[in-house]
Amino acid sequence: MTSDRPSRTWMITGASNGLGLALATHVLKNGDQTVLAAPTLPGMAALAAAYPKTAFAVAMDVTVPEQRAATLQASEARFGGVDVLVNNAGIDFLGAIEEQREEDYRRLFEVNLFGVIEMIRLALPGMRRRGRGTVVNISSMDGVSSLPATGYYSASKFALEGLTEALWQEIEPLGLRAITVQPGSFRTAIEQRTRFSGQPIDDYAATSGAFRRLVSSATPEMFPGDPARAAAAIWKVVINGDSRRRIVLGSDAQRRIAAQFDVLRAELEAGRDMAMGTDYPGSGPSIL
């Protein structure tokens, strides 16, 4: 597909499968240049081969500093800079807070949060220098509303939500953008990649244990979201300069996030008198 608009260069992490691969496919079909990054190349090879002039596939683990830096340098040498950074790489471990192994939840944060932070820090200098650029952070409905057995995953996404909210306030005055995407359950074969951490504890059988069992028996039909439609929605928001800073994708995400907001509003109002009564008497306006 061709258009009169200038082409953009996208860098998409976690591009070997799922939403990352769907987004890379959509971006390339619409004439933009794309750096596809993931720890292994095979999942991206066919797409890169189909677009030899505009696609560049790189083996990169977001937790390895040398690979991050080398990928950005190679991308700038190939395409002249990154206009849209999509931090899509992510992993998940399931289990109760008490059950999960330390090495697993630390790895989860390295990929889902610290890897994202370092990719942003690498991309921003070039974006600031060129006076244009968009950072798209793929969060989750779990970044707004947590469930039993998803505590560490949700914590990494809650942190990403806060990071992105601060980021857009810092970079919008510079002509740059930051967007959080909050997908629901999408049909990306994630049920085949989700891993459990630690040994189940009987006392959690009715809470995190029930969620473990649900995921273990999940079928593709239980995931309503269409990755191709999600990719088209993300592309549209980025290309059209949509002013939204948060994008909810999927009917289940819309319902669950709305329900969470209703609960938060009710609890906020119920605690109004207590909140207002805990200031120093006669204190002045808050600094915030």
For residue 49, which amino acid is it? A
- 78: enclosing H helix or E strand: helix 65-79
- Residues pairing with 94 in the sheet: 196
The pair of structure tokens assigned to 5 is 């608009």
* Phi and psi torsions of 177, nearest 5°: -130, 155
12 with 20: CB under 8 angstroms?
yes
The pair of structure tokens assigned to 44 is 């991206």
Sorted by sequence, the CB contacts under 8 Å of residue 154 that are 6+ apart come out as 140, 142, 143, 145, 146, 147
For residue 153, indicate whether it is catalytic. yes
* Phi and psi torsions of 276, nearest 5°: -70, -20
- Residues pairing with 179 in the sheet: 136
Catalytic residue among 51, 105, 152, 153: 153
The pair of structure tokens assigned to 81 is 């800079």
Residues that are catalytic: 153
